[in-house]
Amino acid sequence: MARLRDCLPRLMVTIRSLLFWSLVYCYCGLCASIYLLKLLWSIGKGPAQTFRRVAREHPPACLNDPSLGTHCYVRIKDSGLRFHYVAAGERGKPLMLLLHGFPEFWYSWRHQLREFKCEYRVVALDLRGYGETDAPIQRENYKLDCLITDIKDILDSLGYSKCVLIGHDWGGMIAWLIAICYPEVVVKLIVINFPHPNVFTEYILRHPAQLFKSSYYYFFQIPWFPEFMFSINDFKALKHLFTSHSTGIGRKGYQLTTEDLEAYIYVFSQPGALSGPINHYRNIFSCLPLKHHLVATPTLLLWGEKDAFMEAEMAEVTKIYVKNYFRLTILSEASHWLQQEQPDIVNKVIWTFLKEETKKKD
């Protein structure tokens, strides 16, 4: 009987693991079926239009706007990967490191590059696999451990031991993990529209609404098909994410200009440009939940109340994982793309957080 009691916890862990992976693969299959039907419908309506792609050989002028900063590259010694970033502000000033989400790249921080360069060396990075940063082919090269190590190595390569770290969406996930694993390098943590990783994993399993909103996480587990679906109809899905009424930028704030949108399409229409970004998601279910999860850094969490991909309740729950000063600011009528849609408000809130003294929780 005692032996049975000893085995019972391990058995429960095994059963939970089996149920979890059954859910993942079943939902992957469901998502694939839905997108396959969408593809067939599109082909039926107009096969020529479905497979049409406009050649984009030259970047839009906005990507070389000198007011945004200088294009730079750094090669990491251990991984051998070359990372691209845009830097604004004088060398020697405190570092502000910006981590973008999906499907974005350094340009999503254009408003912050201009705003904070007066007091910071602002660096907007292209994450591993994105934009002009090197993109390893194997999905194993996009495990969370690799992504965390990238940021630590980049800090060292830039000659900094600490920074103000800001992340949006998937970049927010990485920012949380850096603050958890390397608290000594993060002076202040600012995350936009992504909850603490453990909140996300627990919430998604208990709330069908969030499971539905995160369906793309499951769809991305399938090889090559997600990349193909993003590219059909001349990247219509990408345009839809940024411009549609349900998910897009510009309900109450700034709207993407035609040139802004073309910048995104240019970057992701390059050969193989979608595989690296989607590979980030292909390892996530084997890495969460986290064993170590407490955050000891003063933290600001910014949230767009009308986020089409994240339930706002997760923002409130996040505070239990931060064992330091925690501030939550929810912007009503704002979408998922907060730093692009409401840059004036976002920048003001960030300035306030950076200037204020933050006292650790007792």
User: pLDDT tens digits, residue range 50-60?
Assistant: 888 888 889 99
Which range has the top average pLDDT, 42-46, 202-206, 316-320? Answer: 316-320
Pairwise CA distance, residues 110 & 96, whole Å: 14
User: pLDDT tens digits, residue range 185-214?
Assistant: 999 999 999 999 999 988 987 888 898 898
Inter-CA distances, 67 with 62, 87, 113, 248, Å: 10, 10, 9, 26
User: pLDDT tens digits, residue range 221-279?
Assistant: 889 999 999 999 999 999 999 999 889 987 677 889 999 999 999 999 999 999 999 99
pLDDT at 36: 80
CA geometry: angle 346, 349, 353, nearest 5 deg: 135
Q: What percent of the chain has pLDDT over 90?
A: 69
Which residues are the active-site residues? Answer: 169, 281, 336
- The b-or-e profile of 325-334 (16+ CB within 10 A means b, else e) is bbbebebeeb
SS (H, E, C) 213-232: HCHHHHHCCCCCHHHHHHHH
CATH topology classification for 61-202+284-355: Rossmann fold (3.40.50)
Q: What is the mean pLDDT of residues 329-338?
A: 94
Burial class (CB in 10 A: 0-12, 13-18, 19+), 362: exposed
Put the strands of the sheet holding 82-88 in their side by side order.
Answer: 70-75, 82-88, 121-125, 95-99, 163-168, 186-192, 299-304, 326-331
pLDDT at 10: 64
Residues in the chain, overall count: 362
User: pLDDT tens digits, residue range 141-163?
Assistant: 999 999 999 999 999 999 999 99
